[in-house]
Structure 1
Amino acid sequence: MRLPIGIVCAISATIAPPATARDTKAWDTSGSVARDVLVVTALALPAAKGDWKGDLQALASIGGAFVVTTALKQTIRSRRPDGSDQHSFPSGHSSASFAAAATLHNRYGWKIGLPAQVVAVFVGVSRVQARRHRWGDVLAGAAIGEASGLLLTRRLNDNVRVVPWGDTRSGGVSVALRF
């Protein structure tokens, strides 16, 4: 239980400076640090637990998001809000952060996943506040990262599966137990 609290404390120290700062550099730096913390956590936590399959899944998840994001950045020319280049869409920081957060959530559950998702949201907000991306760039990056994390990561204990579902008329959650 100390790990999620440690993640929250580390990220709180990162989030505090831009919350009061008006300059884009503080937001840019804080978002980059938060992304790095998420990626390192997604790779280091499985290694620390001796969960090498989880480590490979995290690497595949983050790597997959990187490949898709890079391909889209090269294909779709979109000028950044700060005018620095033509690689605004989608947000790479967001895709990496959400891939790491989704991997942690999917592999280890909500106690680790929820704080990681909150940090990933902060990274997305920081990219807009730093004027490096628009909201659409961030949402696309988040979707790529979440999809990568959910598709390429399996739950450590898959005796219990919770699967959300929905169609045009209704939605719900299916729970499957394996004995």
Structure 2
Amino acid sequence: MRRFLLATTAATMVLTATPAEASKRGWERASNISRTIVVGASLALPAYHGDWRGLGGTALALGLTGAATAGLKYAIPETRPDGSDNKSFPSGHTSLSFAAAASLHKRYGWQAGLPAYALASFTGLARVKADKHYVQDVVAGAALGTAGGWLLNSRRNDRVEWLPWADRHGAGLALTTRF
């Protein structure tokens, strides 16, 4: 776990330092790299630990988030800021990155989730800086990915579980414990 934290933190620092003066193409490349790192880590960590249930949950979250993102891109055609096509909404890079981060958070706690969320946030920022998405595309992708990762995974230690909820009258977190 410590190696994962160190590697993710180092990758985040390198990625955030590199494109500070970068072109739009440099930001796009950085977003591709950061997405690949966080998604790869979300699949590699459970595999490394022999946590096949966690690997399955993460794969399901990534797959369904990707499918939902593709469906929304088709249903809501929005032209990208650079005018390249009409698949701006929501950000696929961001939705997959946040699905991966939320999966790590839900399964392994904040120690894995915090650096993964930082890398996922960088991915969203880089997509805006690359002129591939508007801020609302990235926010929608982050919400979609977080919901997918959080709802389609379970805690590795399921004795204590946090469950987000929402309805017409409000929202909150429910805490359940098993003795």
The residue number in structure 2 matching 1:12 is 13
Is the alpha carbon distance of 1:64 and 1:12 closer, same or farther for their aligned partners in structure 2, counting shifts above 3 Å?
A: same
TM-score (norm 2): 0.92
Give the residue type in structure 1 aligned to 2:122.
F
Contact kept, 8 Å, 2:12 with 2:118, in 1: the verdict is: no
In structure 1, give the amino acid aligned to 2:130.
A
Give 1:134-173 correspondences, 5 Å limit: 134-163=134-163
In structure 1, the residue matched to 2:52 is 52
State how far apart, in whole Å, the 2-side matches of 1:99 and 1:28 are.
20
CA distance in 2, matches of 1:125, 1:139: 10
Moved more, 157-166 or 84-93: 157-166
CA distance in structure 1 between the partners assigned to 2:52 and 2:164 by the alignment: 28
Bigger CA drift: 36-45 or 164-173? 164-173
- Distance between the aligned counterparts of 1:84 and 1:170, measured in 2? 39
State the percentage of identical aligned residues: 44
Structure 2 residue aligned with 1:102: 102
User: What displacement does 1:176 show?
Assistant: 2.9
Matches within 5 A, 1:25-174: 25-163=25-163, 174=174
> Which consecutive unaligned segments of at least 5 residues does structure 1 have?
none
Amino acid at match of 1:8: T
- TM-score, normalised with respect to structure 1: 0.92
2:28 corresponds to 1:23: no
- d(CA) in 2 for partners of 1:99 and 1:145? 4
Partners of 2:53 and 2:170 lie apart in 1 by: 36
Which sections of structure 2, spanning at least 5 residues, go unmatched? none
Report the CA distance between 1:11 and its aligned residue.
2.2
Cα deviation, residue 163, structure 1: 3.9
Residue 62 to residue 165, structure 1, CA distance change in 2 (3 Å): closer
Aligned residues: 178
Query: Does the C-alpha gap of structure 1 residues 71 and 158 become closer, same or farther in structure 2, counting only changes over 3 Å?
Result: same
The residue type paired with residue 16 of structure 1 is: A
Shift of 1:6: 1.4
CA RMSD of aligned residues (A): 1.8
What is the Cα deviation at residue 127 of structure 1?
Answer: 0.6
Distance 1:106 1:13 in 2: 26
**Letter in structure 1 aligned against 2:12:** I
**2: CA distance between counterparts of 1:64 and 1:170?**
26
